[in-house]
A and B are shown apart, each in its own frame.
Chain A
Amino acid sequence: GENVEQHPSTLSVQEGDSAVIKCTYSDSASNYFPWYKQELGKRPQLIIDIRSNVGEKKDQRIAVTLNKTAKHFSLHITETQPEDSAVYFCAEGVGNEKLTFGTGTRLTIIP
C-alpha cells in the first residue's frame, strides 16, 4: 500500500445506532483490507478483514464493504454498544505485506 485516508477522525453515536467509518486507498495492487480495534493502552486487534475477491463480509454486528473500482472500503457497526468505544484503524496492502494503516477513528458510544 502507499497511502490510505480514513474518515472521520472522531465519531460519536448513540448506543444502539450504527457507526460507519470509511477509508480510501490509492494502490490498485492492494488486495487485503483489515480493520483493527485498539482500546486505550492496548494492542491493535483484528476485528474483520476482507480480500479483493469479495465485495462484502459480515460478522455479527460488524460488516465491511469494498469497492475496488472506487478504491474505498468501509466498516459498519450496527446496534452499537458501550464496549465498541475504541480507536479503529483501517489498513491495506498486498496480502499482509507492507500494510499501510489509516490515521484512526476514535469512536465514542454515548449511553
Chain B
Amino acid sequence: EAGVAQSPRYKIIEKRQSVAFWCNPISGHATLYWYQQILGQGPKLLIQFQNNGVVDDSQLPKDRFSAERLKGVDSTLKIQPAKLEDSAVYLCASSLKFPNRGSSYNSPLHFGNGTRLTVT
C-alpha cells in the first residue's frame, strides 16, 4: 500500500513568515495526526483529526498554528507567523479507526517522511 505522503520535504523561511505543509494519509485511514519533532526529542502531538473533525488540538499553539482537513482526506498545517523555535520536523501520521469499537482498537500509526522546517 502507498504510505503517508507529505510535502514539501524541506522548507527554509525567515521568522515572521508563513509556511504550509501538506499531508495525504494512507487511503481509507480516517484518523490523521500532525506531530512536531524537535531535534533530539520525541514526536509531540499537535492535532488529531477523525475524518474532517478535530478530535484533539490541546497542544496546538493556536495563536500561530492552524490545521484543516476539509474533505476528510488530505490535510494542511499552517504556521503564521513562524518563530525560531518552530524549527523542527513536522510529521503527519494516519491510522484506521474501527467503527463501533473503543479507541483501543485503533490500528497502529503510520508516519510520513516529514517536512523539515528551518526558521532563520
B40 interfacial contact with A, CB 8 Å: yes
A8 interfacial contact with B, CB 8 Å: no
Contacts A96-B103, A98-B45; A43 near B114 (Cβ below 8 A): yes
B41 touches A96 (CB 8 A): no
Q: Is the interface of A mostly helix, strand, loop or mixed?
A: strand
Report which of B44, B56, B107, B112 forms a contact with A97, defined as CB distance below 8 A: B56
Report which of A34, A43, A98 forms a contact with B91, defined as CB distance below 8 A: A43
B109 touches A95 (CB 8 A): no
A31 interfacial contact with B, CB 8 Å: yes
Instruction: Give the docked Cα–Cα distance between A36 and B45 (Å).
Output: 15
Contacts of B31 in A (CB 8 A): 96
Contacts of A100 in B (CB 8 A): 45
Fill in one digit per residue for A35-69: 1 if any B CB lies within 8 Å of its CB, else 0: 01000001111100101000000000000000000
Fill in one digit per residue for B23-66: 1 if any A CB lies within 8 Å of its CB, else 0: 00000000100000000111111001000000110000000000
Report which of A42, A96, A102 forms a contact with B109, defined as CB distance below 8 A: A96
A96 touches B42 (CB 8 A): no
- Per the 8 Å Cβ criterion, residues 46-98 of B in contact with A are 48, 55-56, 91, 95
B108 interfacial contact with A, CB 8 Å: yes
Contacts of A104 in B (CB 8 A): 40-42
A94 interfacial contact with B, CB 8 Å: yes
Q: Which residue of A lies closest to B59 (CB)?
A: A98
Report which of A6, A46, A94, A103 forms a contact with B104, defined as CB distance below 8 A: A94
Contacts A43-B114, A44-B43, A101-B42; A34 near B109 (Cβ below 8 A): yes
B55 touches A49 (CB 8 A): no
B43 touches A89 (CB 8 A): yes
Instruction: Give the docked Cα–Cα distance between A32 and B107 (Å).
Output: 11
Which chain B residues have a beta carbon within 8 Å of chain A's beta carbons? 31, 40-45, 48, 55-56, 91, 95, 102-114
Give the 7 A-B CB pairs with smallest separation, nearest first: A101-B42, A95-B103, A96-B106, A43-B111, A95-B106, A95-B104, A97-B103
Which chain A residues have a beta carbon within 8 Å of chain B's beta carbons? 6, 31-32, 34, 36, 42-46, 49, 51, 89, 91, 94-104
